[in-house]
């Protein structure tokens, strides 16, 4: 579903990611863990198209559904991401001037799809009846539910989440991860979640550890990564 082939990124001459390769499969919920500053968010940002990898002309280190992303012009890449990806990132925060329902419906509208499923997703995240509220009227945990509903509403094939349970209490975090897990299994999407949380990682099918420019599958979660 998503192939990374010799993915590299350096900032100011310092390599953060150096020839990283991995295959992510459809239907997999994967956690990416690792020490602070090792490049986890950089990796997610590159996949999301928020940053560009270092690549020689003609090379495409990121391949989505068999399509080399570097071979697409900006418009085509935006369309593919809009249709095939869902993002749970701080950078894509819930928009304050739209109601909860309008926020959730946004990916459907942008993809020219019927907005019926927005109501369903609102119900699915436990916010049925709150659709006409605005983001300032709800809690942080509820806001995160809206972000998840919006990321999943158009049934993306690839869901990217950066610390989706960052500042939430354990019960809310657990409810949100269960929801994410359920939706991924229902739609057969691949989800990649960067997290420091052991509890969050335990909800996934696979934990990848990023260190020293390598991704390695692990069952070991370091005790300090709570
Ligand atoms: N836009 C940028 N310009 C310069 N350096 C950057 C930029 N983005 C990231 N870096 C550097 O790349 C390295 C990896 O950062 P990144 O945020 O990917 O790490 P991380 O593993 O997600 O860390 P954390 O767990 O603390 O969030 C850091 O040294 C960071 O300073």
Contacts of 127 (CB under 8 A, 6+ apart): 100, 138, 142, 145, 146, 149
Distance from C-alpha of 53 to C-alpha of 62, rounded to nearest angstrom: 9
CA of 77 to the centre of ligand 1 (A): 24
Closest residue CA from atom 28 of ligand 1: 37
Ligand 1 atom, smallest distance to 45 CA: 18
> What's the pLDDT score for residue 183?
85
147's tokens: 């972000």
Closest residue CA from atom 18 of ligand 1: 39
**Edge-first strand listing for the sheet containing 158-162:** 85-88, 158-162, 190-194, 29-33, 206-211, 214-218
- Residues 116/153, Cβ–Cβ less than 8 Å: no
Q: Is the pLDDT of residue 166 over 70?
A: yes
26-37+71-218: CATH number: 3.40.50.300
Return the higher-pLDDT residue of 216 and 213: 216
- How confident is residue 226, by pLDDT bands cut at 50, 70 and 90? very low
Q: What does pLDDT average to over the chain?
A: 89
Q: Over the stretch 23-36, which tens digit does the pLDDT of each residue have?
A: 999 999 999 999 99
Question: Is the C-beta atom of 13 inside 6 A of ligand 1?
Answer: no
> What's the pLDDT score for residue 92?
66
> What's the pLDDT score for residue 224?
46
CA of 155 to the centre of ligand 1 (A): 30
Supply the pTM of this predicted model: 0.90
83's tokens: 């249709």
Question: Is the C-beta atom of 144 inside 6 A of ligand 1?
Answer: no
The helix (H) or strand (E) run that includes residue 41 is helix 40-48
The whole-number average pLDDT for the span 57-82 is 89
Ligand 1 atom, smallest distance to 42 CA: 18
Lowest mean pLDDT among 48-57, 113-122, 191-200: 48-57
Ligand 1 atom, smallest distance to 163 CA: 27
Question: Is the C-beta atom of 142 inside 6 A of ligand 1?
Answer: no
> What percentage of the chain exceeds 90 in pLDDT?
60
> What percentage of the chain exceeds 70 in pLDDT?
96
CA of 36 to the centre of ligand 1 (A): 8
57's tokens: 């002309």
CA of 105 to the centre of ligand 1 (A): 32
Contacts of 214 (CB under 8 A, 6+ apart): 20
Which residue do the tokens 């942080």 mark?
A: 140
Q: What is the ipTM of this complex?
A: 0.95
Ligand 1 atom, smallest distance to 39 CA: 18
Pocket test for ligand 1, best of 7, 14, 41, 163 (most atoms within 8 A of CB): 41
Return the higher-pLDDT residue of 119 and 224: 119
Closest residue CA from atom 5 of ligand 1: 11
Contacts of 204 (CB under 8 A, 6+ apart): 29, 30, 31, 181, 193
């Amino acid at each position: 579903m998503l192939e990374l082939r010799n993915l590299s990124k350096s900032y100011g001459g310092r390599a953060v990611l150096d020839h990283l390769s991995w295959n992510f499969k459809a239907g997999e919920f994967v956690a990416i863990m690792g020490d602070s500053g090792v490049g986890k968010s950089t990796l997610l940002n590159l996949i999301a198209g928020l940053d560009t990898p270092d690549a020689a002309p003609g090379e495409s280190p990121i391949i989505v559904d068999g399509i080399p992303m570097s071979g697409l012009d900006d418009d085509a890449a935006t369309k593919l991401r809009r249709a095939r990806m869902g993002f749970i990132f701080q950078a894509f925060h819930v928009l304050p001037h739209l109601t909860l329902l309008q926020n959730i419906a946004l990916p459907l509208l942008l993809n020219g799809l019927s907005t019926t499923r927005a109501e369903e997703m609102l119900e699915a995240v436990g916010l049925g009846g709150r659709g006409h509220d605005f983001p300032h009227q709800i809690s942080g945990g509820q806001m995160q539910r809206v972000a998840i509903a919006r990321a999943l509403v158009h049934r993306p094939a690839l869901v990217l989440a950066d610390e989706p349970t960052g500042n939430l209490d354990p019960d809310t975090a657990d409810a949100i991860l269960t929801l994410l897990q359920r939706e991924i299994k229902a739609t057969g999407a691949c989800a990649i979640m960067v997290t420091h949380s052991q509890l969050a990682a335990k909800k996934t099918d696979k934990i990848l550890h990023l260190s020293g420019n390598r991704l390695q599958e692990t069952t070991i979660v370091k005790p300090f990564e709570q």
